[in-house]
Structure 1
Amino acid sequence: MTLHENSKSTECSAHSAAVDKATVADASSADTSSNDNGNDNGIDLATIFEPYFRPDENTIVCGALDDEKVAALAAAGVELVINLQPDEELKFDESTAVEQAGMQYEHLPINGTADLKQLKILAFDNILRQHHGKKIAMHCGSGNRVGAAIALRAGWLRGRKMDTAMERGRSHGLTKLAEEVHNRLLVPR
């Protein structure tokens, strides 16, 4: 998928210096018309994140973060990080790292299937609506819970048909929770 060049320049935060300079140099010399990093200030996020999903130009879905990944997101022009991991899964002070890197931070813990309820999805929808139009990175441990939340949002709150909601979830990282999400979408909300 080729993304259009972003016409406005985005100033990198001071913490972008923590990004591996070789990775940045390699990404900067690459032809951005054939990569999806044209909107990412030359940063090739696909080489930094595993897993990595890019459902659209302003949305990045990835697994757990660390200091270097936070710096890469900031250097790529991300404005908001949405973390769906519960506190016990976090290995560092992510909130502080994200805010010090110049990005906004939202934390909405989803602890597996027990938290895939309408109130959580409503809270998730509220965060996305408040920050509509911003470049965001959403993450959990693997992207699976992000994909589940996106699929349930599409089905329950946006009225999308089952196939559309599930495809939307898969484009955002839905894998292991697919059967659970499918079953929840069968129940009218």
Structure 2
Amino acid sequence: MIVKHLIDSLSMSNTLVPNEHLMVGGQPSEHDFEVLAAIGITQVVNLRPPSESIPFDEAAIAEKWGMQYHVIEVTTTESCTKEKAQHLKDILDKEEPTLVHCASGNRVGALIALKEYWLEGAGAEDAFNLGLSAGLTKYTDEIKQVLQV
């Protein structure tokens, strides 16, 4: 379970906790990984492609703090495929405390909304609202179109 009182010490933007096993948001700093470990995060899912440089070796820092590290590249709503949603589902189905991040959190919310709709049996409205609770912002119109909301 994610310890919510430590979240305020993160420099990561748009930090949200949609459920007891999931934290989402923007790019964490190198220092944030120490806090994430203290919070209890055991898995990190980075949705950023290599073209979006991070000023430190995120995989190495996650490993240093004992976290499993995964990359699912999402650049646009078109790159939010069923295969990528399934990959995220497989990671989240472990029900381990997990951080899913991109640069701002928007792509996280988009992929979660589609995962819920395509793979978890959520209705379009519920999937969209789950996406909003997980950081969906500027891709709302595109996700509404996919979900036919």
TM-score by length of 2: 0.90
Unmatched 5+ residue regions in structure 1? 1-5, 7-38
What is the CA–CA distance in structure 2 between the aligned matches of 1:90 and 1:46, rounded to whole Å? Answer: 25
- Aligned-residue Cα RMSD (Å) equals 1.8
Percent identity over the alignment is 34
Q: 1:17-42: CA deviations, max 9, x gaps?
A: xxxxxxxxxxxxxxxxxxxxxx42x8
Q: Secondary structure at the match of 1:182?
A: helix
Residues matched between the structures, number:
147
Residue 174 of structure 1 corresponds to 136
Q: CA 1:123–1:58 in structure 2 vs 1: closer, same or farther (change >3 Å)? A: closer
1:119 alignment partner in structure 2? 83
Q: 2:60 is matched with which residue: 93, 96, 111?
A: 96
Unpaired runs of at least 5, structure 2: none
CA change 1:71–1:47 in 2 (3 A) is closer
The equivalent position to 1:74 in structure 2, one of 22, 28, 37, is: 37
Bigger relative CO (Cα 8 Å, ≥ 6 apart): 2
Is residue 128 from structure 1 mapped to residue 80 from structure 2 by the alignment?
A: no
Report SS of the residue matched to 1:82.
strand
Tell me which residue corresponds to 1:54.
Answer: 17
Asked if residue 147 in structure 1 is aligned to residue 147 in structure 2, the reply is: no
How big is the shift at 1:113? 2.1
The one-letter amino acid of 1:139's match is: H
Contact (CA 8 Å) 1:43, 1:75: kept in 2 or not? Answer: no
Tell me, yes or no, if structure 1 residue 44 matches structure 2 residue 34: no
Q: Could you tell me how far 1:72 is from its partner in structure 2?
A: 1.1
* Deviating 4+ runs (over 6 angstroms): none
Counterpart-to-counterpart distance in 2, 1:142 and 1:135 = 20
